[in-house]
Protein backbone atom coordinates (compact mmCIF):
# COMPACT_ATOMS: atom_id res chain seq x y z
CA UNK A 1 0.00 0.00 0.00
CA UNK A 2 2.73 2.47 0.95
CA UNK A 3 4.57 1.82 -2.31
CA UNK A 4 1.45 2.75 -4.27
CA UNK A 5 1.11 5.92 -2.24
CA UNK A 6 4.74 6.82 -2.97
CA UNK A 7 4.29 6.37 -6.70
CA UNK A 8 1.06 8.35 -6.70
CA UNK A 9 3.01 11.11 -4.91
CA UNK A 10 5.82 10.82 -7.46
CA UNK A 11 3.48 11.00 -10.47
CA UNK A 12 1.63 13.99 -9.01
CA UNK A 13 4.82 15.94 -8.33
CA UNK A 14 6.35 14.99 -11.69
CA UNK A 15 3.30 16.32 -13.55
CA UNK A 16 3.43 19.50 -11.45
CA UNK A 17 7.13 20.01 -12.19
CA UNK A 18 6.69 19.50 -15.93
CA UNK A 19 3.77 21.94 -15.97
CA UNK A 20 5.68 24.69 -14.13
CA UNK A 21 8.77 26.13 -15.91
CA UNK A 22 10.77 26.38 -12.68
CA UNK A 23 10.15 22.71 -11.99
CA UNK A 24 11.64 21.52 -15.26
CA UNK A 25 15.06 21.49 -13.65
CA UNK A 26 13.91 18.07 -12.41
CA UNK A 27 12.99 16.80 -15.90
CA UNK A 28 15.93 14.39 -16.22
CA UNK A 29 15.53 13.15 -12.65
CA UNK A 30 11.81 12.55 -13.25
CA UNK A 31 12.72 10.44 -16.27
CA UNK A 32 14.74 8.12 -14.03
CA UNK A 33 11.67 7.37 -11.93
CA UNK A 34 9.74 6.32 -15.01
CA UNK A 35 12.76 4.30 -16.17
CA UNK A 36 12.51 2.34 -12.92
CA UNK A 37 8.79 1.69 -13.40
CA UNK A 38 9.51 0.47 -16.93
CA UNK A 39 12.27 -1.83 -15.66
CA UNK A 40 9.90 -3.32 -13.08
CA UNK A 41 7.35 -3.96 -15.84
CA UNK A 42 9.93 -5.48 -18.23
CA UNK A 43 11.85 -7.31 -15.50
CA UNK A 44 11.72 -10.79 -17.03
CA UNK A 45 13.07 -9.91 -20.53
CA UNK A 46 15.74 -7.70 -18.95
CA UNK A 47 16.78 -10.56 -16.66
CA UNK A 48 17.08 -12.93 -19.62
CA UNK A 49 19.10 -10.33 -21.53
CA UNK A 50 21.60 -9.74 -18.71
CA UNK A 51 21.91 -13.49 -18.04
CA UNK A 52 23.42 -13.88 -21.54
CA UNK A 53 26.29 -11.51 -20.82
CA UNK A 54 29.61 -13.44 -20.79
CA UNK A 55 30.48 -12.17 -17.32
CA UNK A 56 30.62 -13.57 -13.81
CA UNK A 57 27.82 -12.72 -11.38
CA UNK A 58 29.85 -9.99 -9.58
CA UNK A 59 30.90 -8.53 -12.93
CA UNK A 60 27.27 -8.36 -14.09
CA UNK A 61 26.27 -6.70 -10.82
CA UNK A 62 29.00 -4.04 -11.05
CA UNK A 63 28.33 -3.45 -14.77
CA UNK A 64 24.59 -2.97 -14.34
CA UNK A 65 25.23 -0.78 -11.31
CA UNK A 66 27.68 1.48 -13.13
CA UNK A 67 25.44 1.78 -16.20
CA UNK A 68 22.55 2.91 -14.03
CA UNK A 69 24.52 5.13 -11.65
CA UNK A 70 27.48 6.56 -13.54
CA UNK A 71 26.02 6.62 -17.06
CA UNK A 72 22.27 7.15 -16.65
CA UNK A 73 21.73 8.70 -13.24
CA UNK A 74 24.68 11.09 -13.37
CA UNK A 75 23.66 12.43 -16.80
CA UNK A 76 19.88 12.51 -16.51
CA UNK A 77 19.90 13.97 -12.99
CA UNK A 78 21.78 17.06 -14.22
CA UNK A 79 19.92 17.23 -17.56
CA UNK A 80 23.12 16.37 -19.41
CA UNK A 81 24.89 19.45 -18.02
CA UNK A 82 27.93 18.21 -16.12
CA UNK A 83 28.05 19.42 -12.54
CA UNK A 84 31.77 18.72 -11.95
CA UNK A 85 32.87 19.31 -15.55
CA UNK A 86 30.94 20.55 -18.60
CA UNK A 87 32.47 17.72 -20.61
CA UNK A 88 30.11 14.79 -19.93
CA UNK A 89 32.79 12.13 -20.31
CA UNK A 90 35.04 13.91 -17.83
CA UNK A 91 32.09 14.50 -15.54
CA UNK A 92 31.27 10.78 -15.50
CA UNK A 93 34.91 10.01 -14.83
CA UNK A 94 34.99 12.30 -11.80
CA UNK A 95 31.87 10.60 -10.41
CA UNK A 96 33.15 7.10 -11.19
CA UNK A 97 34.85 6.62 -7.82
CA UNK A 98 31.70 7.39 -5.87
CA UNK A 99 29.54 5.18 -8.10
CA UNK A 100 32.02 2.30 -7.99
CA UNK A 101 32.26 2.44 -4.19
CA UNK A 102 28.48 2.68 -3.86
CA UNK A 103 27.71 -0.24 -6.18
CA UNK A 104 30.51 -2.40 -4.76
CA UNK A 105 29.31 -1.66 -1.25
CA UNK A 106 25.83 -2.87 -2.11
CA UNK A 107 27.27 -6.04 -3.61
CA UNK A 108 29.13 -6.71 -0.34
CA UNK A 109 25.96 -6.10 1.68
CA UNK A 110 24.08 -8.53 -0.57
CA UNK A 111 26.51 -11.32 0.40
CA UNK A 112 25.19 -11.28 3.96
CA UNK A 113 21.50 -10.44 3.66
CA UNK A 114 18.91 -10.87 0.94
CA UNK A 115 17.68 -7.37 0.10
CA UNK A 116 14.67 -6.98 -2.16
CA UNK A 117 14.92 -4.55 -5.09
CA UNK A 118 12.32 -2.29 -3.48
CA UNK A 119 14.24 -2.23 -0.18
CA UNK A 120 17.38 -1.17 -2.04
CA UNK A 121 15.46 1.43 -4.03
CA UNK A 122 14.06 3.16 -0.96
CA UNK A 123 17.17 2.79 1.23
CA UNK A 124 19.38 4.34 -1.46
CA UNK A 125 16.70 6.89 -2.32
CA UNK A 126 16.31 8.12 1.24
CA UNK A 127 20.07 8.40 1.58
CA UNK A 128 20.15 10.50 -1.58
CA UNK A 129 17.32 12.70 -0.33
CA UNK A 130 19.39 13.40 2.78
CA UNK A 131 22.66 14.34 1.06
CA UNK A 132 21.40 16.12 -2.06
CA UNK A 133 22.57 19.72 -2.37
CA UNK A 134 24.50 19.62 0.92
CA UNK A 135 21.62 18.27 3.00
CA UNK A 136 19.02 20.52 1.40
CA UNK A 137 16.08 18.46 2.73
CA UNK A 138 17.13 19.01 6.35
CA UNK A 139 17.50 22.74 5.77
CA UNK A 140 14.07 22.97 4.13
CA UNK A 141 12.57 21.01 6.99
CA UNK A 142 14.14 23.21 9.66
CA UNK A 143 13.04 26.42 7.94
CA UNK A 144 9.47 25.22 7.43
CA UNK A 145 9.63 25.17 3.62
CA UNK A 146 7.28 22.24 3.26
CA UNK A 147 6.10 22.70 -0.32
CA UNK A 148 9.57 22.57 -1.97
CA UNK A 149 10.45 19.60 0.23
CA UNK A 150 7.25 17.69 -0.58
CA UNK A 151 7.75 18.42 -4.28
CA UNK A 152 11.40 17.41 -4.46
CA UNK A 153 11.38 14.42 -2.09
CA UNK A 154 9.80 11.71 -4.29
CA UNK A 155 11.84 12.79 -7.31
CA UNK A 156 15.12 12.65 -5.40
CA UNK A 157 14.25 9.29 -3.85
CA UNK A 158 13.52 7.90 -7.32
CA UNK A 159 16.73 9.37 -8.72
CA UNK A 160 19.05 7.81 -6.16
CA UNK A 161 17.03 4.61 -5.90
CA UNK A 162 17.34 4.06 -9.63
CA UNK A 163 21.14 4.29 -9.41
CA UNK A 164 21.63 0.98 -7.57
CA UNK A 165 18.35 -0.94 -7.32
CA UNK A 166 18.27 -2.26 -10.94
CA UNK A 167 21.18 -4.57 -10.19
CA UNK A 168 18.97 -6.28 -7.61
CA UNK A 169 15.92 -6.20 -9.87
CA UNK A 170 17.13 -7.74 -13.11
CA UNK A 171 20.06 -9.95 -12.21
CA UNK A 172 19.37 -13.68 -11.98
CA UNK A 173 19.46 -15.28 -8.55
CA UNK A 174 23.08 -15.99 -7.70
CA UNK A 175 22.44 -19.03 -5.54
CA UNK A 176 24.29 -17.78 -2.45
CA UNK A 177 23.08 -20.12 0.32
CA UNK A 178 21.79 -19.34 3.79
CA UNK A 179 21.18 -15.62 3.40
CA UNK A 180 18.47 -14.32 5.67
CA UNK A 181 15.99 -11.74 4.39
CA UNK A 182 17.00 -8.20 5.30
CA UNK A 183 14.89 -7.12 8.25
CA UNK A 184 14.67 -3.70 9.85
CA UNK A 185 18.10 -3.97 11.45
CA UNK A 186 19.79 -4.90 8.18
CA UNK A 187 17.90 -2.15 6.37
CA UNK A 188 19.01 0.42 8.95
CA UNK A 189 22.60 -0.81 8.71
CA UNK A 190 22.51 -0.57 4.91
CA UNK A 191 21.10 2.97 5.14
CA UNK A 192 24.01 4.08 7.32
CA UNK A 193 26.56 2.26 5.16
CA UNK A 194 25.27 4.02 2.03
CA UNK A 195 26.59 7.30 3.46
CA UNK A 196 29.94 5.61 4.08
CA UNK A 197 30.13 4.20 0.54
CA UNK A 198 29.22 7.49 -1.14
CA UNK A 199 31.37 9.81 0.95
CA UNK A 200 34.37 7.47 1.10
CA UNK A 201 34.27 6.83 -2.64
CA UNK A 202 34.03 10.54 -3.37
CA UNK A 203 36.77 11.45 -0.91
CA UNK A 204 39.26 8.95 -2.30
CA UNK A 205 38.50 9.59 -5.96
CA UNK A 206 38.10 13.37 -5.90
CA UNK A 207 40.35 14.09 -2.94
CA UNK A 208 43.39 12.17 -4.18
CA UNK A 209 43.00 11.37 -7.87
CA UNK A 210 41.51 14.59 -9.17
CA UNK A 211 44.25 16.92 -7.92
CA UNK A 212 46.91 14.67 -9.46
CA UNK A 213 45.20 14.43 -12.83
CA UNK A 214 44.23 18.09 -13.08
CA UNK A 215 47.84 19.13 -12.40
CA UNK A 216 48.98 17.00 -15.34
CA UNK A 217 46.42 18.41 -17.80
CA UNK A 218 47.96 20.74 -20.42
CA UNK A 219 47.07 24.41 -20.05
CA UNK A 220 44.58 25.71 -22.59
Q: pLDDT grade, residue 163 (50/70/90)?
A: very high
Mean pLDDT, rounded, of the chain: 90
Q: In the chain, at which residue ranges do the beta strands (DSSP E only) sit?
A: 113-114, 180-181
- Name the 3-class secondary structure at 176: coil
Query: What is the C-alpha to C-alpha distance for residues 133 and 21, in angstroms, rounded to an integer?
Result: 20
Contact yes or no for 130/137 (Cβ under 8 A):
yes
Query: What is the C-alpha to C-alpha distance for residues 77 and 71, in angstroms, rounded to an integer?
Result: 10
Tens of pLDDT, residue by residue over 63-73, are 999 999 999 99
Average pLDDT over residues 5-32: 90
Say if residue 200 is exposed, middle or buried (CB neighbours under 10 Å; 0-12, 13-18, 19+): middle
Q: pLDDT grade, residue 176 (50/70/90)?
A: low
pTM of the model: 0.91
pLDDT confidence of residue 220:
39
Amino acid sequence: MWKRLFWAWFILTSVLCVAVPQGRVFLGAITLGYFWLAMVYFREPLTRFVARWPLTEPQRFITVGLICSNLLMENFAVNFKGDLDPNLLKNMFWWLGMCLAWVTGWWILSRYRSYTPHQVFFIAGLMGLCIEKDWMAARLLMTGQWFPLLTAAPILVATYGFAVAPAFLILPEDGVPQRQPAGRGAAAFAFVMNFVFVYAGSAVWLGFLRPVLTRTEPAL
